[in-house]
């Protein structure tokens, strides 16, 4: 009913309008509550961006392959030295990326594995590194990489007994080698070399002298590798 320019809404109509508005508000709130993303003014980025560079890290560093286990030809134009920790979850996470690099670049890239156990937080990293070196002594690089894959695939089950058992599955009996601490100094030398090359955490990579820190996506490695191949 209209009277003197004033619009009057009937009570039953007002109730219907209020119910509609309330229902719409509940739907919106439910969508926000169960959505995995926060509503912002930015486009949600579903990709994995490269990790930021380590503060104060130089653009080039010096690191050698030493005499450690290698995949790919030693004379490949691009050498990737990986300093890694067998108990580090991020080191395990980057392994599929390294496999993708192997598949993509073939003989143009060689990958060297060096130890960098963070013993203050990963008590099994040092013995795991020594166990892998013991396996390598008996079976060469091929056996080492099998042990490497076995350890990373079973990080949650790391123990002295399992290290010996996994080595036995691959071939060699490392009981004496592991208990003797034969490769303790070798692993410690790798750690010192990693730190001297600017490594502050794991995994840490040096690609033809260019440092790359963290479990980076394939694109981050590709950018450095392609630049080196084009140089």
Would you say 69 and 144 are in contact if contact means Cβ atoms under 8 Å apart? yes
Q: What is the CATH number of the domain that holds 121?
A: 3.40.30.10
Same domain flag for 29 and 83? no
**pTM for this structure?**
0.76
The model's pLDDT over 153-164, given as tens digits with 9 standing for 90+, comes to 999 999 999 999
Q: How many domains does the chain have?
A: 2
The predicted structure's pLDDT at residue 209: 97
Same domain, 89 and 184: yes
From 145, 134, 33, 18, select the one nearest 82 (Cα to Cα): 145
Q: Which domain holds residue 111?
A: 70-230
Check whether 53 has a pLDDT greater than 60: no
Is 152 contained in some domain? Answer: yes
- Is residue 52 a part of any domain in this protein? no
Question: Do 165 and 224 belong to one domain?
Answer: yes
Give the residue, 22 or 99, on which the prediction is more confident: 99
DSSP character at residue 182: T
- Which residues on neighbouring strands pair with residue 206, listed in sequence order? 81, 211
Tell me what pLDDT residue 59 has. Answer: 83
| Co-location of 90 and 182 in the same domain | yes
Same domain, 101 and 202: yes
Within this chain, do residues 105 and 215 fall inside the same structural domain, yes or no?
Answer: yes
Q: How far apart are CA 231 and CA 222, in angstroms?
A: 14
Whether 16 and 83 share a structural domain: no
Tell whether 202 is covered by a domain: yes
Q: Tell me the per-residue pLDDT of 178-223, one tens digit each, with 9 for 90 and over.
A: 999 999 999 999 999 999 999 999 999 999 999 999 999 999 999 9
Judge if 162 and 99 occupy the same domain. yes
Residues 217, 143 within the same domain: yes
* Mean pLDDT rounded to a whole number for the chain: 83
Same domain? For 107 and 170 the reply is yes
Position 23 in a domain: yes
Same domain, 14 and 89: no
Whole-number Å distance between alpha carbons of 109 and 71: 9
Question: Quick one: pLDDT band at residue 4, thresholds 50, 70, 90?
Answer: very low
Q: Which residues of 194-203 are buried (b: 16+ CB within 10 A; e: fewer)?
A: beebbbeebb
User: Is 47 within a domain?
Assistant: no
Do 158 and 111 share a structural domain?
Answer: yes
Domain-embedded: residue 187: yes
Rg of the chain (C-alpha set):
28
| Size (the chain), residues | 231
């Amino acid at each position: 009913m209209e009277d003197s320019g004033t619009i009057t809404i009937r009570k039953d109509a007002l109730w219907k309008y209020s119910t509609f508005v309330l229902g719409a508000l509940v739907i919106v709130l439910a969508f926000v509550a169960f959505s995995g993303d926060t509503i912002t003014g930015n486009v949600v980025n579903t990709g994995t961006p490269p990790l930021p560079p380590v503060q104060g890290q130089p653009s080039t560093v010096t690191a050698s392959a030493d005499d450690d286990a290698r995949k790919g030809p030693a004379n490949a134009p691009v050498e990737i030295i990986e300093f890694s920790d067998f108990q580090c979850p991020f080191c395990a996470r980057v392994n599929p990326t390294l496999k993708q690099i192997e598949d993509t670049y073939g003989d143009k890239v060689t990958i060297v594995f060096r130890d960098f156990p963070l013993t203050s937080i990963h008590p099994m990293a040092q013995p795991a590194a020594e166990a892998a070196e013991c396996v390598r002594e008996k079976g060469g690089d091929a056996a080492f990489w099998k042990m490497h894959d076995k350890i990373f695939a079973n990080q949650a089950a790391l123990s002295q007994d399992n290290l010996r058992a996994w080595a036995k599955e691959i071939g060699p009996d490392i009981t004496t080698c592991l208990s003797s601490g034969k490769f303790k100094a070798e692993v410690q030398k790798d750690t010192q070399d990693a730190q001297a090359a600017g490594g502050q955490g794991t995994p840490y990579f040096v690609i033809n002298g260019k440092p790359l820190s963290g479990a980076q996506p394939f694109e981050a490695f590709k950018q450095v590798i392609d630049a080196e191949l084009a140089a």
